[in-house]
Amino acid sequence: MFYPDNGPTTQSEFIFAIPYDPSTTDGYMYYGRYDLNRNLGMKYGYSGATVGSNTDPVVNQTAGNGLVNSKPSGPRATLSSFLNYFLRDTEDIRLKQWLYGPQYWEDGNPIMVATTKQGYNQFYTGADAKDPYVYHLTIDTAIQLRQNASLLDCGNDEIAWNQGARNIKFYPDNNSATRNQNNDVPVYRYSDILLMKAEAILRGGSPTDGQTALSLVNELRSNRTTAAPWTSVNLEQLYEERCREFAWECQHRDDMIRFGKFEDTYGFKTNKDTYRRIFPIPTAAITANPKLDQNPGYVKSN
């Protein structure tokens, strides 16, 4: 339902969605640009990238025969703790939205990348050989800060670029004209209605129409996994199910606040400031209307 052809004529899950069209220059549906590893452009046809008539080319080394190696910028990744919600059920189709571990071409052969020893590891101090350093592209699920921790700096080499599982839920659109994608993005969809009702019941609401929190969750899961139906459900399990169902759909921040997770320590975030649940009023808005008071916890700019 998240492929480039996911318009209203192809699926009915979306209740309200933002339509995107790659021919619209200001569409800015750039998920592939930010989510794909920088060495996966050719495999997924990013922005006109293609292997041409080559078979399993070495990234950055093979040239000619129609090869175009357009590279995504690929800065977005997820924390291993979030990926763990998906790894608990290997039969869940939602696990397939994540790219991690060794990467392969469609024929099963490894994707090899050419660089230098220092290009692979910027802290390498030995001499670089004249021949390229070629390695098997592997996406590490862990994210490590290898330089300035205060700047959240992972470094500037292949090791850094290959950290963190990448998401291809909004499947890359191999549109050759622009980086814009054709994937529509849901704001509300039917699965959210099911889990909203399940949550309301778990928080004290009354079941209606014969639907319980458990039956509602299992109705959704029956379309996502071949694992056995759940026999019970609580709020923690429901939270994890929402993580699996709505990853990359801009739901998670609100879910964390509602389920009491937002002030937890995770990844590189350690503060527990509750005022951050509400965003600050933009400086431009306060400048335009000086009578506005900045939200608690934030400094009002002069």
Per-residue pLDDT tens for 265-298?
Answer: 998 889 999 999 999 999 999 999 999 999 999 9
pLDDT surpasses 80 at 177 = no
Q: Three-state DSSP class for 49?
A: coil
pTM: 0.93
Contacting residues for 76 by C-beta, under 8 A, at least 6 apart: 34, 35, 166, 167
pLDDT of residue 287: 93
How high does pLDDT run on average in the chain?
94
Structure tokens at 227: 């694992």
Residues present in the chain in total? 302
pLDDT surpasses 70 at 232 = yes
pLDDT of residue 213: 98
Distance CA 240, CA 234 (A): 10
pLDDT of residue 148: 87
Average pLDDT over residues 103-126: 96
Contacting residues for 148 by C-beta, under 8 A, at least 6 apart: none
Q: Three-state DSSP class for 116?
A: coil
User: For 188-222, what is each residue's pLDDT tens digit?
Assistant: 999 999 999 999 999 999 999 999 999 999 999 99
Distance CA 181, CA 246 (A): 20
Contacting residues for 6 by C-beta, under 8 A, at least 6 apart: 14, 183, 184
Q: How confident is the model at residue 258 (pLDDT cuts 50, 70, 90)?
A: very high
Q: Which of 150, 138, 179, 155 is nearest to 40 (CA)?
A: 138
Average pLDDT over residues 156-164: 96
User: For 42-98, what is each residue's pLDDT tens digit?
Assistant: 999 999 999 999 999 999 999 999 999 999 999 999 999 999 999 999 999 999 999
User: For 31-41, what is each residue's pLDDT tens digit?
Assistant: 999 999 999 99
Which amino acid appears at position 236 of this protein? Answer: E
Residue 168 · residue 44 · CB < 8 Å: yes
Taken in order 78, 226, 9, 17, is the CA torsion positive or negative? Answer: negative
Residue 205 · residue 252 · CB < 8 Å: no
Q: Which of 38, 153, 165 is nearest to 100 (CA)?
A: 165
As to burial, measured by CB atoms within 10 angstroms (0-12 exposed, 13-18 middle, 19+ buried), residue 208 is: exposed
As a whole-number percent, the residues of the chain with pLDDT over 70 amount to 99
pLDDT surpasses 90 at 176 = no
Q: Which of 270, 63, 240, 78 is nearest to 164 (CA)?
A: 78
